[in-house]
Amino acid sequence: MSTLEIRDLHVSVETESGPKEILRGVDLTVNSGQTHAIMGPNGSGKSTLAYSLAGHPKYTVTSGEVLLDGEDVLAMTVDERARAGLFLAMQYPVEVPGVSVSNFLRTAKTAVDGEAPKLRTWVKDVKQAMDQLAIADDFAERDLNTGFSGGEKKRHEILQLELLNPKFAVLDETDSGLDIDALRVVSDGVNRFAANGDKGVLLITHYTRILRYIKPDFVHVFVGGRVAEEGGSELAEKLEEKGYVDYVGTPA
């Protein structure tokens, strides 16, 4: 059993007029075997939370703490967070010309595990994961994210997730830009990861459509940099019906 604890987290970004506080006291705990969905209107702080957990330098944590199995995540470098078991699937993955998908994946696996995977086993694992995500064999030799469609980028993020096998996955708008077929494939990949029972998922999304395929145990509504309401999957159904009208204007 692993636990990711976010306690009274405050995060700011630098603007032309000075620091601007985005997260204003976020409390959230994700345990192994749980899937949490974070929903909310644009600008509510959802993606800020994801990037802050991953250690993006643009975001400054001004107070609060993040603990992974009791260890201080905020004191870790970006690569240390990955090795500790924290994974971020980005909304807009970076293009890296000159680095093939296959080289990137093996390098990432080696960095996370501390040793290179055995080649024969690794090739088999990659092929199986690609087949499950309906990814063509020649995809592995393409330059990382370069010229990828939105669906290809998202499938590649889930391919990383399945191969790196972290303790906790933070998925930032994984459904963004996906058609219905790609959405199903990507959702199946997330469900396979979560089905292990010893993994935690923090799924950030604007819309409820992905929650038709990935059933959350808990739903958190973000407004003004805070959690405005929490509930089970029924809360997502309420948002599907009414949107965020009940939360807009909530004091920040």
Amino acid letter for position 81: R
Please state, in angstroms and rounded to a whole number, the distance separating the CA atoms of residues 83 and 195. Answer: 21
Question: What residues have CB less than 8 Å from 11, skipping those under 6 apart?
Answer: 21, 22, 23, 45, 48, 49, 52, 59, 60, 61, 62
Task: Decide if pLDDT at 252 tops 70.
Answer: no
Total Cβ atoms within 10 A of residue 71: 13
Please state, in angstroms and rounded to a whole number, the distance separating the CA atoms of residues 162 and 196. Answer: 11
In 3D, which of 232, 234, 171 has the Cα closest to residue 199?
A: 171
- pLDDT tens track for 88-108: 998 778 889 999 999 999 999
Please state, in angstroms and rounded to a whole number, the distance separating the CA atoms of residues 31 and 56. Answer: 23
Give the chain's largest Cα–Cα span. 56
Q: What is the DSSP letter of 55?
A: T
Please state, in angstroms and rounded to a whole number, the distance separating the CA atoms of residues 198 and 208. Answer: 25
Written as one string, the DSSP assignment of 137-205 is: GGGGGSEETTT--HHHHHHHHHHHHHHH--SEEEEESTTTT--HHHHHHHHHHHHHHHTTSS-EEEEE-
Confidence of residue 249 (pLDDT cuts 50, 70, 90): low
Please state, in angstroms and rounded to a whole number, the distance separating the CA atoms of residues 61 and 143. Answer: 34
Tell if the pTM clears 0.75, that is, is over it.
yes
All domains of the chain in start order, with CATH: 3-248 (3.40.50.300)
Confidence of residue 81 (pLDDT cuts 50, 70, 90): very high
Give the strands of the sheet with 71-72, arranged side by side: 18-31, 3-15, 59-68, 71-72
- pLDDT tens track for 143-168: 999 999 888 999 999 999 999 999 99
- Angle at which helices 101-113 and 150-164 cross, to 10°: 30
For the chain, the first-to-last Cα distance in angstroms comes to 34
| Distance, C-alpha 228 to centroid of its chain | 21
- Tokens representing 109 are 């696996």
Confidence of residue 250 (pLDDT cuts 50, 70, 90): very low
Find the length of the chain.
252
- pLDDT tens track for 104-119: 999 999 999 999 999 9
